[in-house]
Amino acid sequence: MKSSTIFLFSFLCFVLNFSAFAQVNKSDSGSDKIRINQIGFYPEASKKAIIVTSEATDFSILTADQKTEVFSGKLSEPKEWPHSKETVKQADFSSVENSGKYVLHVSGIGTSHPFEIAKNVHYEPAKASMKAFYYQRASTDLPEEYAGKWAREAGHPDDKVKIHNSAASQNRPAGSTISSPGGWYDAGDYGKYIVNSGITMGTLLSLYEDFPNYLDTLNLNIPESQNNIPDFLDETLYNLRWMMTMQDEDGGVYHKLTSANFHGAVAPKDATLQRWVVQKGTAATLDFAAVTAQASRIFQNYNELPGLSDSLLVMSEKAYTWAKENPQAIYRQEELKNPKISTGAYGDQNFKDELQWAATELFITTGNENYYKDANLESSLETDFGIPAWPNVNTLALYSLVRHRDKYTNSEVVDIDAIINQITKMGDALVSSSKTSAYAIPMGTRESDFVWGSNSTAANQGILLLNAFQITDDEKYLNAANANLDYLLGRNATGYSFLTGFGEKATRDPHHRPSESDDIEDPVPGLLAAGPNPGQQDKEGCKNKYTDTHKYPATSYIDDRCSYASNEIAINWNAPFVYLANAIEAIR
């Protein structure tokens, strides 16, 4: 720009400062004291925003051009949120039901990011969060036709993966190779880890079993979109087929496929370190058994996939048998050598929950009661079940049982009422804590909700609540689930929408090698950032980026690629977001 033009431009801006234009400008940058779902709300649903203030008393809802006020209301009494030490008030504008684009304004505080009130308001982010799995595909190029500006070359063919000495067997000695292509990259790194694929696939397959009609029409624009299988299942098949290559002949399943050390932040095609499959383990094998058992009953209905369902069941039972014979094959990464392995450990030493999950899925698929006896769920319902996470998967068994509850109403083996009761009780606890929460959300029921990948805690709480809703039809569960979706999309103490590409202030610089290494300004869309993590386990040069504003559990988040402790993405975090957002879309 020439200097005279700059002068004219500055002058114009100065004049316009006193006009309506300046107001629009102001809304572009949204007040960081107003925390709101930056995507929006369903016409008939509850609508809340959080204002960081102890003084302000009134708020208004304006059309997005800020020309018309459509609603004015009183803020609630102030409350402190212990997880951010903020004093906040709630703005409730649930009675605004007309579709449109709006902002929320509080005088003396400012104007919010814009948001929308509409039917299907979360459809695009919900869909994008599933499309994100396509962008995580290993061993294939992503043509522009499907990947848009994030098109990239293939990386990690994984057709000559070496058997690590910890994984050696008679027919597959150390140093020999197997082919194990495909699957999704786990996270910001390029590893493929069975344990984490387990909960990820279980979550996605459960969404499919719960809402098949909605998912059958979801068009993801992927290479398989033209075939007769729903895109949602085609995408999950991409990872399932990889998982199937991870089972050894004896039924045991390799813990992971990885390079010995993390590769630098290069594109997939340039990450060419030798890849290894490492040690068969009980956790990986049971997670595999659960996923393949569940997948077997889903794919039974597809003639286009002859034999798949049967093969999955055979593999599942073989894995289960191996795990029963090897109940304590603990993955101890620190003991591995030649080469040493330093990538993600996913080390878990307690396999009871994995066994319960696998046995239950096998029971549901086969009807064989011995599996249910093995699962032995009902003796410890009160104590042993919590919000799912990668090392903690037995609640997925409860979800599957209640989904198929019609089969068990008069059952002599399953006390389905006890299972239902457990889910609604857990749901009630989340609902009641959201009622007293300063942010009006279940997230933060306990301070320990804020862990590495805390956003998946919020999403998984949402799934629990949606299970309770599907059993009871009681809207209180649906509303609480929706409140956690609001949390993830902006109604949180950082003010960020944690889904890349969605929201005026959204995560832009995730720890994600493909996004870091391309020369595209925008990150790959539809990825859920890990979220606030007071552990702050980042490396030295990154730790000092946490300032005073990041010092509380709920604010311990930096939108910086260096931060693998708060800003990485991962398939086991995206999957519960996919469930939460798509299930709410399907229900509303």
CB of 553 vs ligand 9MR, minimal distance in Å:
15
What residues contact 364, with CB distance under 8 A and at least 6 apart?
293, 294, 297, 400, 401, 404, 407
Q: Which is nearer to ligand 9MR, 449 or 486 (CB)?
A: 449
Helix (H, G, I), strand (E, B) or coil at 497: strand
Q: Which is nearer to ligand 9MR, 271 or 398 (CB)?
A: 271
| Joined tokens for residue 315 | 């593999």
Q: Which is nearer to ligand 9MR, 453 or 462 (CB)?
A: 453
Q: Which is nearer to ligand 9MR, 49 or 530 (CB)?
A: 530
Cα–Cα dist 514/382, whole Å: 43
| Joined tokens for residue 212 | 């098949």
Active site residue 189: yes
Active site residue 559: yes
CB of 191 vs ligand 9MR, minimal distance in Å:
6
| Rounded alpha-carbon distances, angstroms, from residue 386 to 61, 102, 458, 521 | 39, 38, 13, 39
- From the CB of residue 477, how many other CB atoms can be counted at a distance below 10 Å? 25
Give the DSSP H or E segment for 117. Answer: strand 115-117
What residues contact 496, with CB distance under 8 A and at least 6 apart?
490, 503, 505, 506, 507, 529, 557, 559
Q: Which is nearer to ligand 9MR, 60 or 395 (CB)?
A: 395
CB of 393 vs ligand 9MR, minimal distance in Å:
13
Q: Which is nearer to ligand 9MR, 365 or 456 (CB)?
A: 456
Q: Which is nearer to ligand 9MR, 102 or 452 (CB)?
A: 452
Cα–Cα dist 180/468, whole Å: 39
Beta strands (DSSP E) in 144-296 are: 161-163, 177-178, 192-193, 254-259, 275-280
CB of 169 vs ligand 9MR, minimal distance in Å:
26
Helix (H, G, I), strand (E, B) or coil at 443: coil
57 by Cβ neighbours in 10 Å (0-12 / 13-18 / 19+) ranks as exposed
Are the C-beta atoms of residues 433 and 82 closer than 8 Å to each other? no
Cα–Cα dist 108/104, whole Å: 13
Give the DSSP H or E segment for 80. Answer: strand 79-81
Cα–Cα dist 101/116, whole Å: 4
Q: What is the 3-state secondary structure (H, E, C) of 359-391?
A: HHHHHHHHCCHHHHHHHCCHHHHHHHCCCCECC
Q: Which of 164, 511, 512, 538 is catalytic?
A: 511
Q: Which of 287, 348, 538, 559 is catalytic?
A: 559
CB of 260 vs ligand 9MR, minimal distance in Å:
12
CB of 345 vs ligand 9MR, minimal distance in Å:
6
Active site residue 325: no
Q: Which is nearer to ligand 9MR, 281 or 427 (CB)?
A: 281
CB of 317 vs ligand 9MR, minimal distance in Å:
29
CA angle 381-384-386, nearest 5°? Answer: 100
CB of 142 vs ligand 9MR, minimal distance in Å:
20
Q: Which of 348, 361, 449, 568 is catalytic?
A: 568
Which residues lie across from 172 on neighbouring strands?
169
Q: Which of 189, 317, 353, 449 is catalytic?
A: 189
Active site residue 516: no
Residues that bind ligand 9MR (CB under 6 A): 186-189, 191, 262, 344-346, 452-453, 564, 568, 570
Cα–Cα dist 120/143, whole Å: 29
Q: Find the residue with minimal CB distance to ligand 9MR.
A: 344
* Residue 448 zone, left/alpha/beta (φ > 0; ψ -120 to 50; rest): alpha
Q: Which is nearer to ligand 9MR, 172 or 543 (CB)?
A: 543
Beta strands (DSSP E) in 197-296 are: 254-259, 275-280
CA angle 460-465-471, nearest 5°? Answer: 130
CB of 498 vs ligand 9MR, minimal distance in Å:
14
Output phi, psi for 362, to 5 deg: -65, -40
CB of 270 vs ligand 9MR, minimal distance in Å:
15
Radius of gyration of the chain (CA): 25
Q: Which is nearer to ligand 9MR, 45 or 336 (CB)?
A: 336
| Rounded alpha-carbon distances, angstroms, from residue 99 to 67, 72, 435 | 16, 17, 27
Please list the active-site residues: 189, 511, 559, 568
